[in-house]
């Protein structure tokens, strides 16, 4: 099995607006990206111990379950004889039970997120025609990673998107900048950004400057395909100028290029 890539890089505010003329009718079209509500089955098992829900987790969503248990929570291997009970007991913590309940309430309906995600992937596919679409699902972690990407899957940890003023974020001392991005509005931008990072990762030996410049290019593309100015920072004006100066622009070429600049924003979230 391909190794799951868990992306913990923060997608910080770092973009300025620019114009791409995507097809005017693209909002009426959609890429075939559905959101599998893995979190709902997960919640049933973790709040009731229901055996049928556990069987669904193991048989219908084996990769998602392995990723959650082994890579996100880090509580053992799915092959461990007691892993089902360990998984259940782990979530009996009062804080995690509160999170499960709050996710259920806030995300009972994700129609708006699904619609925006489809539009964004449709636009991204216009720019990267050879791109394969991921299978998207939702989960509840323990305030760990926001997005996980790997094996053709993209997982959204809804516990990281419960709102800027969510009491538990305040309790655990997330900064105001971090909390401003832990909202429903950042789900789709984070999905696109982390998905692009999985396709266009940084070399391990890259400098901080190269890292931050690469992130700025990623964020530039995120703004374009979401159709809104999610990230704002002067650095992205350089990306904009570079793109406008090319007669034959290619997102693939942009994200593969090693071009850097003399300044970059902080990437700490």
pLDDT at 10: 41
Q: What is the pLDDT of residues 88-141, one digit of tens each?
A: 999 999 999 999 999 999 999 999 999 999 999 999 999 999 999 999 999 999
pLDDT at 115: 96
pLDDT at 259: 55
- Comparing 165 with 237, which gets the higher pLDDT? 165
For the chain, give the percent of residues with pLDDT over 70: 84
Ranking 151-155, 157-161, 206-210 by mean pLDDT, the lowest is: 206-210
- The whole-angstrom separation of Cα 154 and Cα 137 is 6
pLDDT at 21: 38
- The whole-angstrom separation of Cα 174 and Cα 179 is 6
pLDDT at 260: 52
**Per-domain boundaries in the chain:** 27-199
pLDDT at 232: 87
- The highest-confidence range among 29-33, 57-61, 227-231, by mean pLDDT, is 57-61
Q: What is the pLDDT of residues 8-58, one digit of tens each?
A: 334 433 333 333 334 434 444 445 789 999 999 999 999 999 999 999 999
Q: Tokens in use for 142?
A: 């323990």
């Amino acid at each position: 099995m391909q190794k799951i890539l868990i992306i913990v890089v923060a997608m910080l505010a770092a973009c300025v607006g620019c114009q791409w003329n995507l097809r005017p009718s693209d909002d009426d079209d959609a890429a075939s990206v559905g959101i599998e509500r893995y979190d709902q089955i997960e919640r049933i098992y973790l709040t009731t111990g229901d055996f049928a829900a556990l069987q669904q987790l193991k048989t219908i969503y084996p990769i998602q379950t392995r990723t959650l248990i082994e890579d996100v929570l880090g509580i053992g291997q799915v092959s461990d004889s007691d892993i089902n009970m360990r998984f259940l007991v782990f979530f009996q913590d009062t804080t995690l039970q509160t999170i499960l309940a709050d996710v259920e309430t806030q995300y009972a309906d994700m129609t708006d997120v699904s619609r925006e995600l489809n539009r964004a992937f449709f636009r991204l596919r216009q720019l990267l025609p050879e791109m394969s679409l991921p299978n998207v699902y939702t989960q509840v972690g323990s305030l760990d990673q926001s997005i996980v990407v790997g094996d053709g899957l993209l997982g959204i940890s809804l516990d990281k998107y419960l709102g800027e003023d969510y009491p538990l974020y305040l309790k655990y001392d997330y900064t105001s900048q971090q909390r401003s991005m832990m909202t429903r509005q950042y789900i789709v931008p984070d999905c696109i950004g982390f998905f692009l990072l999985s396709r266009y990762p940084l070399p391990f030996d890259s400098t901080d400057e190269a890292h931050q410049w690469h992130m700025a290019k990623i964020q530039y593309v995120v703004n374009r395909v979401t159709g809104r100015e999610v990230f704002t920072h002067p650095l992205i004006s350089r990306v904009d100028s570079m793109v406008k100066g090319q007669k034959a622009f290619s997102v693939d070429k942009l994200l593969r290029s090693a071009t850097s600049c003399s300044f970059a924003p902080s990437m700490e979230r």
